Amino acid sequence: MAELTIQISDELAQRLEPLQNRLPELLWRLLDVASLPQVQPTVLAETTDISSVYQEVLDFLIKRPTPEEIITFKVSPQAQIRLQALLEKNRSTILSSMELAELDVYEQLEHMMILLKARAYSALNK
């Protein structure tokens, strides 16, 4: 296994510390998302949606939210509308591979936020 060393600010290092065990997985996902438009340029709108919801969650986490902020966090109305559209389409027809991948991203982010919210509740109840 290779080791990668990068120089980042101390502030960024502190903000990434809670995610350090997941950084390799997150980097793989980011690379997958970043490479999608080059493979299929016609699905740029869909891949933008994927990266924007990731960016939304990362922007939230990078601000070092309080437990209260974590508990009340919701993705933007645009992301919620897109998720509802994907779920509705999934009920009525077969999703494309890009749509399935996008839905998977939403599910994984939701799972991560559930875990974060559980830890935030725990921190508040100590």
Q: What is the pLDDT of residues 102-113, one digit of tens each?
A: 889 899 999 999
Q: Is 8 or 53 the better-scoring residue by pLDDT?
A: 53
User: In the chain, what percentage of residues exceed pLDDT 90?
Assistant: 46
Q: Give dist(CA 123, CA 126) in Å, integer.
A: 6
Let me know: does 98 contact 47? Beta carbons within 8 Å. yes
Is 80 a domain residue? Answer: yes
Query: For the chain, how many structural domains are there in total?
Result: 1
- Whether the model clears a pTM of 0.75, i.e. scores above it, the answer is no
CB 70 within 8 A of CB 120: yes
Q: What is the pLDDT of residue 28?
A: 73
Q: Confidence band (pLDDT; 50, 70, 90) for 25?
A: confident
pLDDT digits (tens, 9 = 90+) for 66-98: 999 999 999 999 999 999 999 999 999 998 888
Q: Among all chains, which residue has been given the structure tokens 């999608």?
A: 36
Q: Is residue 2 part of a domain?
A: no
Q: How confident is the model at residue 1 (pLDDT cuts 50, 70, 90)?
A: confident
Residue 87 covered by a domain: yes
pLDDT at 37 (0 to 100): 47
Q: Look at residue 5 and tell me if it is in a domain.
A: no
Q: What is the rounded CA–CA span in Å between residue 74 and residue 33?
A: 22
Q: Give me the residue label for tokens 């709108």.
A: 45
Cβ proximity of 86 and 36 under 8 Å: no
| Cα–Cα distance for residue pair 119/67, rounded to 1 Å | 8
Q: What is the mean pLDDT of the chain?
A: 81
Residue 23, domain member (yes or no): yes
Spell out the SS3 assignment of 18-53. HHHHHHHHHHHHHHHHHHHHHHCHHHHHHHHHHHHH
User: Is residue 105 in a domain?
Assistant: yes
Has residue 3 been placed in a domain?
Answer: no
Residue 87: which domain range?
10-124
Mean pLDDT of the region 24-41: 61
In a domain, 18, yes or no: yes
Q: What are the tokens at 22?
A: 């997941």
